[in-house]
Every structure is written in structure tokens, then in C-alpha cells.
Structure 1
Amino acid sequence: MKKIFVGLMLVLGMIGCTSSKVGKTESLAGKQYVLVQQGKDYQITLNFAEDNLFGFSGVNHYFGKYQLDGNKLVVGSAGSTMMAGPQEAMTAEQNFLSQLGKAKTYEVTETGLIITTEAGEKLEFKLVEAPKPAQK
């Protein structure tokens, strides 16, 4: 009886360990990404914190909230600074923020992140080292 109980506990323990990994996705918090498709005179970045995202969109800094559910990504309305810049960068910034607001799914790859919009457009990012907070 004791052997059966121990064997049953081992089997349940193994099932519990393997099933706890099913459906979990890699956390994006603490990571910084750079948009791959961008102009030579500006760099678009995307950073993640616990439930906030922020970055530089070519001319302005932006910020907002996000939620993950499996491979689904929901981006809340974003705010940004209101600086003006070169027309090419302003157009790229508007396009990027519009696409980011329509995010539907995400996929973490070996080298970065791919966000797919409701219309099937893909935003491809390269993972870079996140900036360290300033120390006093």
C-alpha cells in the first residue's frame, strides 16, 4: 500500500510539474526591443515593464498599458510627448503607434519579438539590452 501511495505521488508530481509549464508565455517585462523596419535617421524602441510599455517612436517618447493572455497582446491607448520632427520620422511614428495600437498577437523569437496586428501586419523587433536605471 505504501509503495502504491509513493508511486501515485510521484506520478502526480510529474504531471503537476509538466502541466504547470503548458500555456505559460515568456515575460516581456524588463526587455527592450528596436524596430527592425525603420529609417536611418531615427530609431523606434519598445520597452516593457510589468503592465506598462514605453519607448521612443522616432520623434517622441510614448507610454501605455498592455496585457498578455497566452500569445495574445492587447495594447491600451498610448500617450506621447508632442514634439515635431522631420516629416519622414513623423510619418513613421504615426504608422508605428497606429499599428502598435492594433496589436493582436506576439511571438518571442531567438533574436527578438514579432507583433502581428488585427490586419495581419507584422512589426519585427530585435532584442537589445535594456537601459540601466540611473543610480544616485
Structure 2
Amino acid sequence: MASMLQKRIALRRKIHILRAHTISKSLKLKLEAFKREYTNLMAIKREYLKLMMQMKMPTKDVEVQKIGQGFLVRVNCEKGTDRLVTILEAFDKMGLNVQQARVSCSNVFALEAIAAAQDQALGVKEVTKALLRTIEKNGGETTH
């Protein structure tokens, strides 16, 4: 009777070990599958966000930073007729002399300029507000 009990206990141990081993292998496989799927989904998300950022059309984005006696100005907005001309006229009215500029009109109108201020009292807020007004005033006229 004691030997039967010992055999039964030994058999239960072996079955328990086999079940634990089988469960851990299947869990490992499932976890690896989830990990692969998660990695793939994250790659898809990154590509989607990258495409969305490329397609994003900023309506009006003006950023002005004070540098020395002048300003670094970045403007992003929808394309429009005479957009560059009106912004340069606004610079002229504010007494800003453009020293260097870069303009792009591929998907949106983008301008980055370094402008020296003739009037030292001119501040970042005034330049930003003036450029936003200029863009809004010229915003109704768009070209394709």
C-alpha cells in the first residue's frame, strides 16, 4: 500500500511538472506573439503619425524670438497670393530690415527670417501680433 501511494505521489509530481512546463512554453509563445504584434502596431503608429505630420496644414503659426538687436521670425500658413510681399511690407512698416530669409511654398507657405530692428523698443509680442494681422488680412485670397 505504501508503494502504491509513493507511485501515485511520484506520478502526480511528474504530471504537475509536465503541466507547468507545457503552460510556461505556451505562455512564452503567446507572449512572444503579443510582443511581435505590439512591435508591428507601434511601427504602424509611427508611420501614421509621420504621414499625418507631413499632411498637416498649419492655418496660422507665427513664432518670434529675440536675438541680439533683432528677431528670428518663423511663419507657417496656408499658401496665398502675395503672401511673401505682404509679410515683407509688414516688416518694413515695423522698421525691421531682413538680413537673411528662407522661404518655401511646397505644401504650405513657410518663412524663416532674421530681421534687425531699427526701433529698439519693438518687442516680440508686437511683431507677432502684426504678422498675425497681416496673415489674417491676406488669408482670404488663396491660390492652388
- TM-score, normalization by structure 2: 0.29
Larger-gyration structure (1/2): 2
Which structure has greater strand proportion?
A: 1
Which structure has greater helix proportion?
A: 2
